[in-house]
Amino acid sequence: MYKKILVPLDNSPTDQAILSHIRPLVKLTGAEVVLVHVADGFAARLQNQLNLADSQEIKDDQAYLNQQRDALTGQGIKARAILAQGKETAESILTIAKQEHCDLIAMATHGHTFVKDVLLGSVADHLRHHTNIPILMIRASAQ
């Protein structure tokens, strides 16, 4: 069924909605999980061009990813963590999904209204319009 599942995380409570949902799927299929977080702060976007040291945000993002990866591997799930930066979130996710040969993207959505999505942009909407990889979207409950 699935061999490699990309799971974008945004370091918010929303992440737990998708992580709890994919655990049984991964155990059933034996798929590898590729956790991805795209650092999108000013320093993260310009870090390579300006040869900047890792900001605290980057360090915190990497620690969060590692913590989520370790939680999965502690449950016997093969998982890796990738911290991306320098591009828009949706484009980074699509690039990594292609490079990693992922056959499913599983993500939680915030459940914004149409107006809020237009104003804030929607990673989920961009992904569904720009990839042929199946996407599993779980709407996180309101916090």
Sequence spans of domains, the chain? 4-139
Tokens coding 37: 């977080």
Q: Which CATH number fits domain 4-139: 3.40.50.620, 3.40.30.10, 3.40.1390.20, 3.40.50.300?
A: 3.40.50.620
More confident residue, 87 or 142: 87
CB contact at 8 A, 19 and 140? no
What is the DSSP secondary structure assignment for residue 77, as one 8-state letter? -
Residue 115 has pLDDT above 90, yes or no: no
User: pTM value?
Assistant: 0.84
Tokens coding 10: 């945004």
pLDDT computed for residue 133 by the predictor = 96
